[in-house]
Amino acid sequence: MKRFMIAFLSVLAVSLLLGFVILFEGNVDNFSIWWKEKTRNSEGLPGSPYNERRVDSDEVHFEKSNKIEFIDKHLFWKGSGAVGVPEVGEDGTLTKIIIQSGGAGYSEQVVAKVTGAMANEFELGSVVVEKGEIISVPVIKTSKWNLVPLAFYKEENFPFSGTTEKKFPNGQIISEAPYLSGVLHGQVKRFNEQGIPISKKDYVKGLKHGTHIFFYPKPIDPENYKPPSDVDAESLPTMWLKLRKEAKDKFGRAYGGQKANAWVVAQYLLPMNGGKFQVRLLEHWKNNLRHGLFEAYDKDFYQTYESEYEDGRRIKHKSLDKIKK
């Protein structure tokens, strides 16, 4: 049995090697290009663009969400008012166009088209018009219907997967946003120039889904913090300033940059240190609808209001007077 397994694994290894040589001409770069293309829309596979790619946010542009447009090509009169809405299948593709309003005054020369991101992936048939009113339009070629705008990188003709980022002159990240297949997917973060978090917002497939937290840019030391005994207490009155000094010694010329600031924040939030950042607003979302608690706090740590939502509908609300958390 052991010999059989060794022989089997040997044959498998040789087969994989031969496949690599035949398909990719033994070139690792060719394999890398192939793998990135195959994993472009994956969030879980290792080495996928979603997990590995980072670009400047200024190099990303957006194309509008899909809509149905009717164009009357008659030379002398043109109809108006028709509204078509998409019927989308479970896989997100366009299955049918429902005429919500047929409009009026349309000629037999009216055409329908899909506009917005990846519009060239769709093809609509001849529009049926009766007495100036649009009755129906068939779907000839379908694709995924985009309910939200899609992100594209530079001149690429496929939606962007990866993380966009914007930085301060010192290298500290201002914002970073993960995209999968052109839409926000993951946690969008914003920071100030010292790396203090300003907001953290969860998205799933382009929709607000999860927790959205907004912070005051003010570190909060534990109440039991005491300056080191070997320094002047006035020079390091807070743990935040103490850690900033340690970072300056540790990172030297790189002090103040992204890596140094991230180290300070990570150290500050360690349970043994007990630092935290004050929450300004806490929100909960489900599929782009408010769902759960919404809480707000002032700069003195007092909670100012609390609301509860269910599928976008507010079911409870109360204003609070100086309730300290």
pLDDT score at 225: 84
Give me the long-range contacts of 105-108 (CB less than 8 A, separation at least 24): 105/77, 105/78, 105/79, 105/80, 105/132, 106/70, 106/72, 106/78, 106/79, 106/82, 106/132, 106/133, 106/134, 107/72, 107/73, 107/74, 107/77, 107/78, 107/79, 107/132
pLDDT digits (tens, 9 = 90+) for 262-275: 999 999 999 999 99
12 falls within a domain:
no
Structure tokens at 161: 């997967």
Within-domain flag for 77: yes
Taking 80 as the threshold, does the pLDDT of residue 202 lie above it? yes
Pairing of strands 54-56, 162-167: parallel
Domain match, 276 and 201 both: yes
Whether the Cβ atoms of residue 173 and residue 258 lie closer than 8 Å to each other: yes
pLDDT of residue 54: 96
Is the model's pTM score more than 0.85? no
Residue 68: per-residue pLDDT: 97
CB atoms within 10 A of CB 230: 5
Q: Give CA 155 to chain center in angstroms.
A: 20
Looking at the structure, tell me whether residues 108 and 247 fall in a common domain: no
The answer on 213 and 74 residing in a single domain is no
User: 98-125: per-residue pLDDT in tens?
Assistant: 999 999 999 999 999 999 999 999 999 9
Q: Are residues 198 and 272 in the same domain?
A: yes
**Do both 91 and 133 map to the same domain?**
yes
**Strand ranges in 125-275 using DSSP code E only, listed in sequence order:** 128-130, 133-136, 139-141, 150-153, 162-167, 173-180, 183-184, 186-191, 197-204, 207-220
Residue 51's pLDDT band, with cuts at 50, 70 and 90, is: very high
pLDDT tens digits along 116-159: 999 999 999 999 999 999 999 999 999 999 999 999 999 999 99
| Mean of pLDDT values over 166-195 | 96
The mean pLDDT value for 289-306 works out to 93
What is the reported pLDDT for 320?
Answer: 84
37 vs 254: which has the higher pLDDT = 254
Average pLDDT, the chain: 88
Tally of domains within the chain: 2
240 and 112 both lie in a single domain: no
Q: pLDDT at position 232, please?
A: 59
Q: How far apart are CA 273 and CA 271, in angstroms?
A: 5
Q: Within this chain, do residues 130 and 186 fall inside the same structural domain, yes or no?
A: no
Q: Which of 100, 117, 141 is the last residue of a domain?
A: 141
Domain co-membership, 86 together with 187? no
- Expressed as residue numbers, the domain containing 187 is 173-324
Task: Mark whether 295 and 178 lie in a shared domain.
Answer: yes
Instruction: Please check whether residues 126 and 179 belong to one and the same domain.
Output: no
Of the pLDDT bands very low, low, confident and very high (cuts 50, 70, 90), residue 16 is very low
Residue 267 and residue 128 share a domain: no
Are 319 and 184 in the same domain? yes
Return the structure tokens found at 227.
């300056």
Rounded alpha-carbon distances, angstroms, from residue 39 to 27, 47, 51, 182, 318:
19, 8, 10, 14, 47
Q: Is the pLDDT of residue 187 over 70?
A: yes
Last residue of a domain, one of 141, 159, 186: 141
